[in-house]
Structure 1
């Protein structure tokens, strides 16, 4: 603890006063014992040894005051109490001596009696001052702790009051989860008054009638000993809605026997997902069937017509529709949240297989790889990560206007991530594609030309990675794909539900 020079000097002076008095009185007691010691053992103990011990204790106390971590102000307070104790005991000794003289009793060694009184008074005053100082310090600490608790409580109350999701504080009364308090959002969503629902069973307030199974499941979660998430349908002022509940039971939340429920309305999200699932299924089914009819009839026309250009265009377009449906199916499988889609992947093996397929399909392309052989290349990725590399390599070759399409694949590593860079010598990624992917959404006027780049972005982000599109020098594109290493903590803590982190860097 750093002290100001003035405060330090005052501290040393106060400590010297206590220690010095202890040394002086100790020396006096020793001299008294040597020159004129008491005749009895009791007098020796009470008049010499006990005061001498107190003097030595005071001398040590002076040293302790210098070395202790108490404040200079507290040192002054202790010394003041010591001085006051010495003065009070000296006055008491004088009054006793005067009283004895008035009674005709002449006391010998009056000076030593007063010194003994001063020693005892100073020791008692020091002890009392130290005790009072510690009590005061403890009181100040408790006051600060109380203020912090009040501040934390006020922040907690402000958080609950301003939280847009309904929150219920509950406790178990005779084993029944009972409402203790709710926030304003609960009043608004469930059209209830916090004062009227206080003390009412939770299921009676929020669970729809005739939903005994839902009430039982909710009651089970509220008695759990760990935090849970629970999907349930609840009755609100707007009708029955779907909610995602976060249940923080009393065993986890507090020590006062209360728990909390945070309810998030997910009705719109669930409806949106259901609609997309139906539209996706119908689209893929009907798209493939109708495209098959078109392809079959186009083949018949090609066989019968002398001019087959238009018929071939119809067939090629229908084949592209089939490929589009297959891509949608690949995306659906890769991002299926009902199954665990991430796993440990050997990056060199995946890239070798992707390069082999690309060389077989595009023999005219020059595909080069630079993969270190002395490093651990296991990554944590979506089990469809090979689709990412297939699409990037395919795009780099198919949209390449160079005489010899050249694709270079390199791998570099950091402590937590492995980066795959796929560079080409083509025309580069169009600004239209960059803008759409950068904004993360499409409109009727601004949209991507296909699903390939979306597939790349979504699978990489689902893997807990990052994808960046840069301009190559002098021309072409570089696609950088970062994936968490399987032996790093990044792979364990990666949030596979995060929003897209696609980056763009333009020269």
Structure 2
């Protein structure tokens, strides 16, 4: 502990503080506090000035280094008194050296705070916070975080999060906050912890997601408007094409009407796929399902169209939920549709300790490059190179949402598409009550 007068000079020090600096109490008396600081002393000066102008009992903290050899930072709490300012080195509140680097170099804005009467009082901020919100550490340390960055109309929401933090609960939400660029949206994570002395501290981490969320909202609006207009206009196309087909006598006009109907039906199929994909992917589920039962159920639905061989274990719980039904149906449909009649399709499930592989194999011509490259190789989709359906995309998105992926392989004339999914311990629900098919069926 040490004392500082209104001019910033040391008036007294304890033996422990002098020992920390490797000197004596007599050698420190009368020296300017900023002379003892390693590096830039502006934060110390700003904090001292703020406390000196405050009422007795007011406190502020700042990060400072007194060690010329290691420059290791420490947290100092300054308290206003009637005769000046008293500084106290805080014990066990400074982060470790490893954490200091993470804190300082993170691109996300981070605030280290202390809960004081259920209010988050700023103790430290990183450079990303200063850049994002515009407040230097010396300006905001010791102040209520909410007073600086919470917009009008969001105070009640912030208070609810503070109540959870004070109770030791983690916060995770999308929030709006005031920044140097106006109001922005952030993914906010509040991580509380308690010291041995029973004081509640925490970290608030802010990841700017404004642009992503705005882009998602625009895409949703464009999709719905396009889908609405597409549905209305397709109704007109169908009606007029059917009228022409029934009423014109010239063969070339009848042929044109048939081609119009075919194109409209393909467009309507894609629109319907888009509706189904949107509905399925909007239903987020973390439930597990039995991949073995799923494979048997889908295989039974397609055996009337092609010889479909299965090889599955007794059970194979995987993550992914009920959307896996549609994903596997799309893969099997794609294989059946693009292989000659009577050509076998193989559906196998290989359950591993960490991952389960669901493979759909056929000996057709393979997936065309225009569809394969964007889906399996992450190639750019251009107006000159893309597929026309959403089935493979849907299977990929479902796999990725579950923590897996979709893979493609072409070996010895066989095309193999594999759903890799995380294995689960148990099944939350059954896809079908049908019996498992024996190996090789």
With normalisation by structure 1, the TM-score equals 0.60
1:367 aligns with: 308
C-alpha RMSD of matched pairs (Å): 2.9
User: Does residue 330 in structure 1 map to residue 268 in structure 2?
Assistant: no
Report the more deviating stretch, 273-282 or 235-244: 273-282
Q: Which SS does the other structure have where 1:328 is aligned?
A: helix
1:344 aligns with: 288
| Deviation (angstroms), 1:445 | 4.5
| Deviation (angstroms), 1:160 | 1.5
**Contact 2:336/2:345 (8 A) holds in 1:** yes
User: Does residue 281 in structure 1 map to residue 224 in structure 2?
Assistant: yes
Deviations 1:179-201 (A, max 9, x none): 11111111111111110111111
| Distance of 2:118 and 2:95 partners within structure 1 | 29
**Contact 1:253/1:260 (8 A) holds in 2:** no
1:143-154 superposed matches below 5 A? 153-154=96-97
2:261 aligns with: 315
Of the three residues 161, 176, 192, the one matched with 1:233 is 176
User: Does residue 155 in structure 1 map to residue 98 in structure 2?
Assistant: yes
Q: How many residues matched? A: 334
1:430 aligns with: 368
| Distance of 1:417 and 1:484 partners within structure 2 | 5
1:63-462 superposed matches below 5 A? 153-251=96-194, 257-306=200-249, 307=251, 308-336=254-282, 339-360=283-304, 362=305, 365-372=306-313, 375-400=314-339, 402=340, 404-437=342-375, 438-439=377-378, 441-462=380-401
**Contact 2:161/2:171 (8 A) holds in 1:** no
| Deviation (angstroms), 1:343 | 2.9
| Distance of 1:212 and 1:157 partners within structure 2 | 30
| Deviation (angstroms), 1:245 | 1.1
| Deviation (angstroms), 1:434 | 2.8
Unaligned runs of 5+ in 2: 1-91, 429-441
| Deviation (angstroms), 1:446 | 4.1
Which structure is higher in helix share?
1
1:247/1:152 CA distance change after superposition, 3 Å: closer
| Distance of 2:201 and 2:287 partners within structure 1 | 40
**Contact 1:382/1:460 (8 A) holds in 2:** no
| Deviation (angstroms), 1:332 | 1.4
Deviations 1:385-442 (A, max 9, x none): 2222222222223223x46433122233223433222211111122333321211652
1:250/1:303 CA distance change after superposition, 3 Å: same
| Distance of 2:266 and 2:197 partners within structure 1 | 59
**Contact 1:426/1:477 (8 A) holds in 2:** yes
Of the two, which has the highest radius of gyration?
1
1:463/1:212 CA distance change after superposition, 3 Å: closer
With normalisation by structure 2, the TM-score equals 0.69
1:224/1:282 CA distance change after superposition, 3 Å: farther
1:464 aligns with: 403
Q: Using CA pairs below 8 Å that are at least 6 residues apart, which structure has the higher relative contact order?
A: 2
